[in-house]
Each structure stands twice: as C-alpha cells, then as structure tokens.
C-alpha cells in the first residue's frame, strides 16, 4: 500500500518552474532516497509533500487521504515527521526540552512524553547529553537531535533533509544503523547528498533533475544508469 503519493505536482516561482509534473508513490515501510544536483527541485518537492509549500497544481495523498490543502501542522498530527536541511533546534532550551516539545505534538500524558523523549534520545546516542543546552552541541549532534525530535512523534513517515551533513564517519555509520532499525516499521523519505549513505540504506531511489523525475529504481540500477551518471553522479558537487 502507498503511504505517500504525489500526482502531477508543479511549482512555479515568478513564472519559473521549480518542480514540473512530478509523480511518485512511496509504499509503507520503504526507505526512499531523493537525490539530484543543485537546483533539481528536491527541497521544493519535499516542501509540497510536507505542507510547507503550496503546489501550483497537482495533488498529495497521505495514508489514504487527500492532504493537498492541509497545512504542515495538520500533516504532522496525521503522522508526518520532518527534519529541515538547516538545523531548527531551540538553542537555549535543553536537548531534552527540544525533544519534549516535539513529542507533545502527539502526546499529552507526561509519563508517555518522558518515555518518548528518552527512547528517541537513546536511539541517536544523545541520552547522556539531555540536560545540555541544544546550542552547545556540535552541528552534527544538532542534526541528530532533530532526528530525535522527529522520532519522538512516532511518525508513520519520517522525512529527513540532508541528515548526515556535518556528521563524523562514526556518526554516519550509527545513522545508517538507525535507518536499518526503522526499516519496515517507519517509512522514510531521505534527501541525501552522501551517495555512500544512499547506496547502503535506500530500498528505492528517485532522481530529480531540473524539477523533473529523471530516473527511478533500485540503488544499483541508479548507480549504473548512464543518464544519472551524466546528470548527477559524474557531475561534481552532489549537495542539495
């Protein structure tokens, strides 16, 4: 069953097409990677999927419901979790308080909030730093904190925008292990520039180029594709 689907999504800014006629379908439990060169439209597409950007045309369905007109907070309540490309933690709040704020979007019982916070922080190896101010964490640890904030909401779909940016090799390995742990139980949409991560964790890859879907397939097929090599993998900088 498809958990998230988009049909004919278009977005124009001042007459210029950022995303053009994009359709995709993400089954429950899948780890989907979204890749493409700079300016491919990845962030705009994810903004439309998550409710942060209104499409010029097209439709988005989530968990069997048409959510095209739903704002982001309503989609979060329905089971979408999202981490931003640029960190969005509250720097003067503690690590624990940041995650608790996210958990309270779905939970009201204090005991259940505490359990969700501790479990999420443990999964990203930040439990022992829960009392520190979030602003004192390294950039990489702030990225992990954002993932914990998403996990604390027990989302059906977790959207991760450049999650490994700023992580050490060891932290990237731990992130890969976390995705493997989530696989099958939580659907993941991963916008990622680190192709080693994509090849290791993704079940399926969608490649965007110039606002359009260029190619879709299993990681090995994407890596072997001549059109993907020409447009992206052989083209230098792969950042979002």
Residue the block writes with tokens 């993907």: 228
The per-residue pLDDT for 240 is 39
Cα 237–Cα 56–Cα 60 angle in degrees, nearest 5: 85
The per-residue pLDDT for 236 is 41
Q: Report the distance separating Cα 45 and Cα 57, nearest Å.
A: 12
Q: Report the distance separating Cα 125 and Cα 147, nearest Å.
A: 11
Could you please report the per-residue DSSP string of 4-53?
EEEEEEEEEETTEEEEEEEEEEEETT-EEEEE--TTSSHHHHHHHHHTSS
Q: Under a CB-based contact definition with an 8 Å cutoff, are residues 126 and 148 in contact?
A: yes
The per-residue pLDDT for 20 is 96
Total-model pTM: 0.88
Q: Report the distance separating Cα 231 and Cα 209, nearest Å.
A: 7
The per-residue pLDDT for 239 is 37
Could you please report the per-residue DSSP string of 115-167?
HHHHHHHHHTT-GGGTTSBGGGS-HHHHHHHHHHHHHTT--SEEEEESTTTT-
| Helix or strand run (H / E) with residue 189 | strand 187-191
pLDDT along the chain (240 residues), means of 10: 94 92 96 93 94 96 96 92 74 96 87 95 94 93 90 92 88 91 91 92 96 95 90 54
């Amino acid at each position: 069953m498809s958990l998230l689907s988009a049909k004919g999504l278009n977005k124009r800014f001042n007459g210029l097409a950022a995303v053009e006629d994009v359709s995709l379908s993400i089954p429950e439990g899948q780890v989907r990677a979204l890749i493409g060169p700079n300016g491919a439209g990845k962030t705009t597409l994810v903004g439309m999927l998550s409710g942060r950007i209104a499409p010029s045309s097209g439709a988005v369905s989530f968990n069997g419901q048409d959510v095209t007109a739903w704002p982001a907070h309503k989609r979060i309540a329905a089971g979408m979790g999202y981490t931003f490309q640029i960190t969005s933690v509250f720097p003067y709040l503690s690590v624990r308080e940041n995650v608790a704020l996210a958990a309270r979007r779905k939970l009201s019982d204090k005991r259940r909030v505490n359990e969700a916070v501790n479990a999420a922080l443990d999964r990203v190896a930040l439990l022992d730093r829960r009392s520190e101010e979030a602003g004192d964490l390294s950039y990489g640890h702030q990225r992990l904190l954002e993932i914990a904030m998403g996990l604390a909401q027990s989302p059906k779909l977790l959207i991760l925008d450049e999650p490994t940016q700023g992580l050490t090799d060891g932290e990237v390995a731990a992130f890969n292990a976390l995705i493997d742990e989530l696989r099958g139980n939580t659907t993941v949409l991963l916008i990622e520039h680190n192709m080693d991560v994509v090849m290791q964790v993704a079940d399926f890859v969608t490649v965007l180029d110039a606002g359009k879907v260029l190619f879709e397939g299993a990681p090995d097929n994407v890596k072997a594709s001549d059109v993907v090599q020409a447009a992206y993998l052989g083209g230098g900088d792969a950042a979002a």
